[in-house]
Amino acid sequence: MPRQMIYTATQAIAYPGMKRSMDEWDAQTYTAVQSVYGSCAVQRAGKQICSPLLGGEFVGIALPPRLTTTSYDAWDDYDNCPVLTEGVIAAIADAAIPEGAGLNWNSATWRWTPGQVGGSIYRTPGVEAETGAAGNGSLFWLRIRRVPS
């Protein structure tokens, strides 16, 4: 079998929820009480229990359950869900995002936005764009600074 020597120019550099450092494990383990999707913001729902962010206390960003090419693979009820509290991961933008912009979570689209808090957009302290995003659906690097506990 011949080796592949040429790669497509459209191959993605990452997938949503992929950690840029590629560390094997540096997340906190929470138990999911609702479906929690990879690269999505999560809130505390009890001691070491999490659910999708809908206005509660932001605790971090869920890592994907396995290697995936979409952000829609989920941890189900009562699964152990790894939650990143600091680091750099790939995420999907809800709009154009300038580098260094503070980000909030849009629970209606399951994407990150620089938009103002209100309606389905929730505050995520310590989350900023490591790189800019061209627009809706763009993959970009997101930095989460240490989440206070």
Q: Please write the tens of the pLDDT for every residue from 34-79.
A: 888 888 999 999 999 999 999 999 999 998 876 554 545 678 888 8
Residue 149 vs residue 22, higher pLDDT: 22
Report the distance separating Cα 106 and Cα 103, nearest Å: 10
The total number of residues written for the chain in this structure: 149
Percent of the chain having pLDDT more than 70?
Answer: 82
- Beta-carbon contacts of 71 under 8 Å, excluding residues fewer than 6 positions away, are 16, 17, 37, 38, 39, 40, 64, 91, 92, 110
Pairing assessment for the beta strands 80-84 and 139-144 based on DSSP bridges? unpaired
Mean residue pLDDT of the chain comes to 84
Percent of the chain scoring above 90 in pLDDT: 52
Q: Looking at residue 25, what is its pLDDT?
A: 65
- Of 14 and 34, the one with more pLDDT: 34
Classify residue 93 by its DSSP letter.
Answer: B
Pick 26 or 98 by higher pLDDT: 98
Task: Check residue 13 and give its pLDDT.
Answer: 73
Greater confidence (11 vs 28) lies with 28
In the numeric block, which tokens belong to residue 7? 């790669």
Band (122; pLDDT cuts 50, 70, 90): very high
Please give the pLDDT value at position 9. 63
- For the ranges 51-55, 128-132, 145-149, the lowest mean pLDDT is seen at 145-149
Q: Residue 76: its pLDDT value, please?
A: 81
